Amino acid sequence: MTGRDGRQEIAYLNAHLPVTDDLLQATSPLPPTEVLRFAAPCQESRCQHFHGGSCRLAARIVDLLPTAVESLPPCAIRKTCRWHAQEGSAACLRCPQVQTQISDPEELMVEVAGPGADGPEPRSPDQASEADRQSNGGI
Protein backbone atom coordinates (compact mmCIF):
# COMPACT_ATOMS: atom_id res chain seq x y z
CA MET A 1 0.00 0.00 0.00
CA THR A 2 1.22 3.47 -0.77
CA GLY A 3 -0.20 6.83 0.17
CA ARG A 4 -1.08 9.86 -1.95
CA ASP A 5 -2.98 12.92 -0.82
CA GLY A 6 -3.69 11.19 2.49
CA ARG A 7 -5.37 8.22 0.74
CA GLN A 8 -4.17 4.65 0.70
CA GLU A 9 -3.64 3.05 -2.70
CA ILE A 10 -2.14 -0.20 -3.80
CA ALA A 11 1.15 -0.33 -5.65
CA TYR A 12 1.18 -2.97 -8.35
CA LEU A 13 3.77 -5.67 -8.88
CA ASN A 14 4.85 -6.50 -12.41
CA ALA A 15 4.67 -10.25 -11.85
CA HIS A 16 3.01 -12.78 -9.59
CA LEU A 17 4.78 -13.08 -6.24
CA PRO A 18 4.23 -16.22 -4.19
CA VAL A 19 3.22 -15.76 -0.57
CA THR A 20 6.05 -16.92 1.66
CA ASP A 21 6.75 -16.69 5.37
CA ASP A 22 9.46 -14.11 4.62
CA LEU A 23 7.00 -11.94 2.69
CA LEU A 24 4.42 -12.13 5.47
CA GLN A 25 7.01 -11.32 8.13
CA ALA A 26 8.28 -8.34 6.11
CA THR A 27 5.08 -6.43 6.88
CA SER A 28 5.73 -6.49 10.63
CA PRO A 29 4.65 -4.86 12.87
CA LEU A 30 1.49 -4.49 10.75
CA PRO A 31 -0.62 -7.49 9.76
CA PRO A 32 -0.04 -8.54 6.12
CA THR A 33 -3.68 -7.70 5.27
CA GLU A 34 -3.04 -4.03 6.09
CA VAL A 35 -0.01 -3.82 3.81
CA LEU A 36 -0.59 -6.35 1.04
CA ARG A 37 -3.55 -7.25 -1.11
CA PHE A 38 -3.69 -10.83 -2.28
CA ALA A 39 -5.21 -12.04 -5.54
CA ALA A 40 -7.08 -15.32 -5.54
CA PRO A 41 -9.54 -17.00 -7.86
CA CYS A 42 -13.18 -16.03 -7.36
CA GLN A 43 -14.84 -18.42 -4.94
CA GLU A 44 -18.25 -17.80 -6.54
CA SER A 45 -21.07 -19.28 -4.45
CA ARG A 46 -18.68 -19.86 -1.51
CA CYS A 47 -18.31 -16.05 -1.13
CA GLN A 48 -20.75 -13.84 0.76
CA HIS A 49 -20.60 -11.24 -2.05
CA PHE A 50 -21.52 -13.63 -4.86
CA HIS A 51 -25.15 -13.91 -5.91
CA GLY A 52 -27.01 -14.66 -9.09
CA GLY A 53 -23.85 -15.41 -11.05
CA SER A 54 -22.05 -12.17 -10.20
CA CYS A 55 -19.95 -10.41 -7.62
CA ARG A 56 -22.01 -7.81 -5.80
CA LEU A 57 -18.85 -6.36 -4.23
CA ALA A 58 -17.51 -5.48 -7.69
CA ALA A 59 -20.86 -3.89 -8.57
CA ARG A 60 -20.85 -1.80 -5.35
CA ILE A 61 -17.27 -0.71 -5.99
CA VAL A 62 -18.22 0.61 -9.44
CA ASP A 63 -21.52 2.12 -8.26
CA LEU A 64 -20.28 3.81 -5.08
CA LEU A 65 -16.57 4.60 -5.30
CA PRO A 66 -15.13 7.43 -7.36
CA THR A 67 -12.41 6.56 -9.82
CA ALA A 68 -8.96 6.47 -8.22
CA VAL A 69 -6.88 6.78 -11.39
CA GLU A 70 -7.44 8.26 -14.85
CA SER A 71 -6.07 5.39 -16.92
CA LEU A 72 -5.93 1.65 -16.49
CA PRO A 73 -3.21 0.72 -13.99
CA PRO A 74 -0.81 -2.11 -14.80
CA CYS A 75 -2.27 -5.39 -13.62
CA ALA A 76 -0.87 -8.92 -13.68
CA ILE A 77 -4.30 -10.51 -13.07
CA ARG A 78 -6.62 -8.53 -15.39
CA LYS A 79 -6.99 -11.47 -17.82
CA THR A 80 -8.42 -13.64 -15.04
CA CYS A 81 -9.95 -10.97 -12.78
CA ARG A 82 -13.64 -11.50 -11.91
CA TRP A 83 -14.15 -7.78 -11.28
CA HIS A 84 -12.74 -6.85 -14.70
CA ALA A 85 -14.69 -9.59 -16.48
CA GLN A 86 -17.92 -8.43 -14.84
CA GLU A 87 -17.54 -4.64 -14.63
CA GLY A 88 -14.90 -3.91 -17.26
CA SER A 89 -12.37 -1.11 -16.91
CA ALA A 90 -14.72 0.78 -14.58
CA ALA A 91 -13.62 -1.66 -11.85
CA CYS A 92 -9.94 -1.26 -12.76
CA LEU A 93 -10.14 2.52 -12.39
CA ARG A 94 -11.35 2.08 -8.81
CA CYS A 95 -9.22 -0.92 -7.85
CA PRO A 96 -6.18 1.00 -6.49
CA GLN A 97 -8.20 2.28 -3.53
CA VAL A 98 -9.63 -1.10 -2.50
CA GLN A 99 -7.96 -2.61 0.55
CA THR A 100 -8.32 -6.02 2.12
CA GLN A 101 -8.55 -4.68 5.64
CA ILE A 102 -8.88 -1.10 6.87
CA SER A 103 -8.30 -0.42 10.57
CA ASP A 104 -10.46 2.73 10.67
CA PRO A 105 -12.67 2.72 7.55
CA GLU A 106 -14.62 5.71 6.34
CA GLU A 107 -18.40 5.31 6.15
CA LEU A 108 -18.30 4.98 2.35
CA MET A 109 -15.88 2.04 2.51
CA VAL A 110 -18.10 0.30 5.06
CA GLU A 111 -21.06 0.75 2.68
CA VAL A 112 -19.04 -0.55 -0.26
CA ALA A 113 -17.86 -3.59 1.69
CA GLY A 114 -21.52 -4.25 2.43
CA PRO A 115 -23.10 -7.12 4.25
CA GLY A 116 -22.59 -9.52 1.39
CA ALA A 117 -24.76 -10.34 -1.60
CA ASP A 118 -27.14 -7.43 -1.01
CA GLY A 119 -26.50 -4.61 -3.38
CA PRO A 120 -26.83 -3.56 -6.99
CA GLU A 121 -28.21 -6.03 -9.46
CA PRO A 122 -25.62 -7.57 -11.77
CA ARG A 123 -24.95 -5.71 -15.01
CA SER A 124 -25.35 -7.17 -18.43
CA PRO A 125 -22.27 -6.98 -20.70
CA ASP A 126 -23.86 -3.97 -22.45
CA GLN A 127 -24.35 -2.16 -19.12
CA ALA A 128 -20.74 -2.90 -18.09
CA SER A 129 -19.52 -1.47 -21.39
CA GLU A 130 -21.58 1.69 -20.80
CA ALA A 131 -20.08 2.02 -17.28
CA ASP A 132 -16.62 1.72 -18.91
CA ARG A 133 -17.40 4.51 -21.37
CA GLN A 134 -18.69 6.79 -18.63
CA SER A 135 -15.69 6.12 -16.39
CA ASN A 136 -12.91 6.60 -18.88
CA GLY A 137 -14.10 8.54 -21.86
CA GLY A 138 -14.72 5.64 -24.20
CA ILE A 139 -11.80 3.29 -23.68
Taking residues 124-128, what's their average pLDDT?
Answer: 53
State the CB neighbour count (10 A cutoff) for residue 115: 10
Taking residues 121-136, what's their average pLDDT?
Answer: 51
Residues in the chain: 139
pLDDT at 17 over 70: yes
pLDDT at 119 over 60: no
What's the predicted TM-score (pTM) here? 0.72
pLDDT at 136 over 50: no
Taking residues 110-131, what's their average pLDDT?
Answer: 62
For residue 90, what pLDDT band results from cuts at 50, 70 and 90? very high
Range of the domain at 31: 2-136
Radius of gyration from C-alpha coordinates of the chain: 15
Q: How many domains, in total, are found in the chain? A: 1
Q: Distance between CA atoms of 39 and 37, rounded to whole angstroms? A: 7
3-state secondary structure of 111: helix
- Per DSSP, what are the bridge partners of residue 80? none
Return the pLDDT at 35. 81
